[in-house]
Each structure stands twice: as structure tokens, then as C-alpha cells.
Chains A and B, each alone.
Chain A
Amino acid sequence: MNEEIYASDINKILNDYFGRLKAKIKILPNSEQQDILNEIRSDIQTELFHKEIDNPQQKIELLYAILERLGNPEEVANEILSKRIISFRGNFIKRFFVFSSQGVLRSLLGIIISFLSLVLYYLGFLNLAMAGLKGFIPEKTGLFISEKGFAGYGFKFGSYDIAFLSTTSIRGDEILGYWIIPLGILAGILILAAANYLFLTARRMNI
């Protein structure tokens, strides 16, 4: 094995390791990610250079031994993230994800987030649909109030009710009027953006 093959093998092993590690610490700010990766890479290479070994094959074996001692990228990332929660300066949602991505909470959190994202997507599209349909079926679209109070938020489409928080069928009087058009568009966009953010952040954290 010549020197070039040796260097290329070392780089390949390191790139693979750091690619996996980087994917797991994506939640951290970019500058911090880079700092962590640079530091660990520097320490690995220092240890590698520290031992005077000329045989390329032995050098590669040493690299594997160093990486094994370091732990696999997922373990290292979990350690960093779980300890970083104490001082992490991200926003609340990111802190929540960092905290919750550890250990046994992970699966449960995945189910809850999937469900929550679906509800938000449904609500977002419902609001946009209501804004659009108000022009065609004004008396059957909007916020409905009956003598007993809240009676539904949605629209009647043929014999079907498509609504949110309506226990039975939509009934009562519609009270929002054409305000549902700007409100529905605004609410729809905001809710869809929130659903998307939640979904993508969870995906970045591999929950």
C-alpha cells in the first residue's frame, strides 16, 4: 500500500465518521457544529500523529481504535446534545427537540409530533379552503354559533361537514362573514408554516 492510498483511506474513514456526526448535531448553530467537528477532527489527527507508526496499515488500525474509543458518531452526538441542553442558547422549540431527542422519549415524541403535524396541516388547509369557498357557499362556510354556543368551524360541502372542533354537524349561525377570507388565508399560511417547521425540525433531528 503506498502513501497516497493510505492518505485517501484515512480521509475516507474520517469523512464518513464526520458526515454521520454532522448529521446528528444539525440542530446546533452552524458555527458551533463546525467548531465541534474541527476540534474532534484535530484531536483525532493529533493522536494519530502522536504515535510514531510508519506502517500505513497499522496507522489505519490505530485510526479505527481511536474512533472506537471515541464512540460511534451517534453516541458522541447524543452526549454532546444531552449535556449542551444546560447551556444551549437556541429557541424554545429547538431546546425542546434537543432535550427530547434523547433516550426513551424519542419514539414517543416521534408519534406525538407526527400526529401534531398532521393536525396542523389539516387546520392549515381547512383555513385556506374556507377562504376560497366563502365566495361560492357563503352561508355554509365560517365560524358557526348556535344558541348553545360554539357549533363548528369549517364548511358544509354537499351533505358532508368538513370542520374542526365540531362534535356533531355544523349548525347555528355563521358569524365571521367575509372576514373569513383574509383571516383564513393568514391563519392558513401561518399554521402551514408552523406545521412545516415542526415536521422539518423533527426530521433534521431524526426523530
Chain B
Amino acid sequence: MDINRWNSQLRKGVLEFCILTILERQKTYGYQIIQSLSDFTGVNIKRGTIYALFKRLYDEGYIEYEWEESEHGPPRKIYSLTVEGEKSLKDMKNHWDDFMHSIKKIIQG
């Protein structure tokens, strides 16, 4: 098995979950989210994928944004969670806990 590929796919599979979790902590802009994701995943996620993901989460009503002027640098597109996004994130966390619990049980035998 190609471990690197498996590892990369595993992390990409939870990207949405991670983006929503980052936004739950604080509203922030794309570059900061990408930096956090990069730190978390340790894999080079293509930026185009991330921008498309932002757009999809926005279209589906999980996140919203506003353009904010910055004192140091260009205006930033600041993302935040919507109420719908908060609800979905809560569900996702429950599923995640169940999933982790199941995997642990399988690993431990």
C-alpha cells in the first residue's frame, strides 16, 4: 500500500471538518485557514481545492464571509460559521467521536 497516498487521502477527507472547526474558534481569513490546515495536515493541499471548498461550504450555507479592510495590507475576506454551520459541526463532532471510538476498538481488538 502507498502509505503517503493513504495518509494524504485520510487528511483530505476531513478537510471540511477541519475548516469548520477552525472557524468555530474564531472568524478568520483564507490565508490563515490555509496556514492552519497546512500545519495540521502536514500535506501540501492544493489551494484551488481549498478555495473551491470555501465556495461549496458557502453555497451550502455553512459559512459566510465579509470583506474587511486591513491596516497593514490588502482587504481580507473574513470567513465565519453560520448557525447552520455550527449545527453541522456539532453533528460532525458526534460522528467523529463515534468513528474514533470504533476505530480504537478495532485496533485494540
Contacts and interface: CB of A to CB of B under 8 A. Distances in A.
B75 A42 contact: yes
Interface in B29-77: 29-31, 34, 44, 46-49, 51-56, 59-60, 67, 70, 72-77
B51 A42 contact: no
Interface residues of B, number: 25
Interface size for chain A: under 10, 10 to 19, 20 to 34, or 35 or more residues? 20 to 34
Interface stretch (A70-78, A159-167, A172-180): A70-78
Contacts of A136: none
A40 interface: yes
Nearest to A77: B48
Contacts of B47: 40, 43, 69-71, 76, 79
B59 to A, nearest CB: 5
Given A79-B48, A80-B51, A83-B49, A39 B56 contact: no
Chain A interface, >50% SS class: helix
B56 A45 contact: no
Interface in B1-52: 29-31, 34, 44, 46-49, 51-52
B48 A78 contact: yes
Contact of B48 (A32, A38, A83, A86): A83
A86 B56 CA distance: 8
Given A42-B30, A43-B29, A75 B74 contact: no
Interface string A9-50: 000000000000000000000001000101111110111111
Contacts of B31: 42-43, 46-47, 50
Interface of B: 29-31, 34, 44, 46-49, 51-56, 59-60, 67, 70, 72-77
8 contacts: A32-B55, A42-B30, A43-B47, A49-B74, A76-B48, A77-B48, A79-B46, A83-B48
Given A46-B29, A46-B74, A69-B44, 18 more contacts: A38-B77, A40-B47, A42-B74, A43-B30, A43-B47, A46-B76, A49-B72, A49-B73, A69-B47, A71-B46, A76-B46, A76-B48, A79-B49, A83-B49, A83-B56, A86-B56, A87-B59, A87-B60
